[in-house]
Chain A
């Protein structure tokens, strides 16, 4: 006997109303869908067929690029030198020095292979796009700072060479191999 005499309670499932059965079915379907949503991989839900991976390594080594575009010939003729003056000069600024440096705290030095030149050879960096150029450098076999404060950049400058000769030195010819070198400051 029911505690609620006004409420009809079926004695078997066959006696459930169609509405109750539909409700029960929808709850089952909803439950199944929730279960699938939780258990199924995300890839299934987004129609992903597969994934694959591999490693890829990018290595950047230290680069210290220096380049000059042309050789230089300086002829000291004495033309234009005032009468009575012993010092004669010739200049050239037709060559350019480029650099590219991905290291830090770098400088460029300059030296020559000529250990006993007759004449003086000097070089100066003009219009340097990066760094701090030294003042005019007299080129010797000992490396001397040419541009400092470089690194993590590329740039260029015009090279102005000045050859000096004393009339009292006489004539002759010097051959130089000028070497620019990147060094750590």
Chain B
């Protein structure tokens, strides 16, 4: 084998690698669509603020029935959270509770169109194939904010950490 042949083989190999690697990645993304990496298993009921104690702002309400299922990845990963709520009036906070793995980030105050904030971090590469966590929402309002309804679309994103 002369040097020219060696160069041609190396070039062919590089070409194939440059084509095959993205294809494999794209296929893995397609498979992730089939085997969802992040699933909302239970959604929250409406959070209704309707009571207060003398000398205090309206009593905040909490619900922790929302549950996420997160598929384990080959690298340490995290979940972020963000919300879309046009005309938001009231405060809504989210905190990971009863998490089977990872570490809850500090409670996130969900603000319309704010950048996604860490929600659950340090999700390990080892252990069960899926990790579950509950989401504890806390809704609060002040008298000055009046009455109304905030409709949020809360989005969780599973990313490499």
Indicate if the CB atoms of B71 and A49 lie closer than 8 Å.
yes
A28 to chain B, nearest CB (A): 7
- In A141-160, the 8 Å CB interface with B consists of 152-154, 156
B57 near A154: Cβ-Cβ < 8 Å: yes
Bound CA span A28–B150, Å: 52
8 closest A-B pairs (Cβ-Cβ)? A50-B37, A50-B38, A67-B54, A47-B160, A49-B37, A98-B54, A61-B50, A56-B152
If A32-B18, A32-B19, A65-B54 touch, does A53 touch B153 (CB 8 Å cutoff)?
yes
**Interchain CB contact under 8 A, B66 and A101:** no
Residues B143 and A63 in contact, CB atoms below 8 Å apart: yes
Residues of B within 8 A of A (CB): 4, 7-8, 11, 14-15, 18-19, 22, 25-26, 29, 32, 36-40, 43-44, 46-58, 66, 68, 71, 73, 75, 77, 83, 89-90, 92, 137, 139, 141-160
Instruction: Say how far A79's CB is from chain B's closest CB, in angstroms.
Output: 34
* A57 and B47 alpha carbons, distance in the complex (Å): 6
Chain A residues contacting B154 (CB-CB under 8 Å) are: 53-56
Taking a contact as CB atoms under 8 Å apart, the answer to whether A59 and B149 are in contact is yes
Q: Smallest CB–CB gap between B33 and chain A, Å?
A: 8
What separation, in Å, do the CA atoms of A101 and B141 have in the docked complex? Answer: 12
Contact in complex: A51, B155 (CB < 8 Å): yes
Q: In which size bucket is the chain A interface?
A: 35 or more
Q: Select the stretch in A1-9, A36-44, A82-90, A109-117 that faces chain B.
A: A36-44
Q: Which of A49, A55, A63 sits near B158, CB closer than 8 Å?
A: A49
A102 near B40 with CB under 8 A, answer no
| Contact in complex: B52, A100 (CB < 8 Å) | yes
List, in ascending order, chain A residues with CB within 8 A of B156's CB: 51-53
The CA-CA distance from A65 to B152 in the complex, in Å, is: 28
Whether A44 contacts B26 in the complex (CB less than 8 A), given A49-B71, A59-B49, comes out as: yes
Q: Bound state CA distance, A62 and B63, in angstroms?
A: 21
A43 CA to B80 CA, complexed, in Å: 14
Contact of B15 among A28, A40, A46 (CB under 8 A): A28
B117 to chain A, nearest CB (A): 15
Q: Is A10 positioned at the interface, with any CB of B under 8 Å from its CB? A: no
Most buried by A among B14, B146, B160: B146
B147 and A60 contact, CB distance less than 8 A: yes
- The distance in angstroms between the C-alpha atoms of A41 and B32, with both chains bound, is 13
Asked whether, in the complex, the Cβ of A49 is within 8 Å of the Cβ of B54, the reply is: no
* Closest chain A CB from B66 CB (angstroms): 7
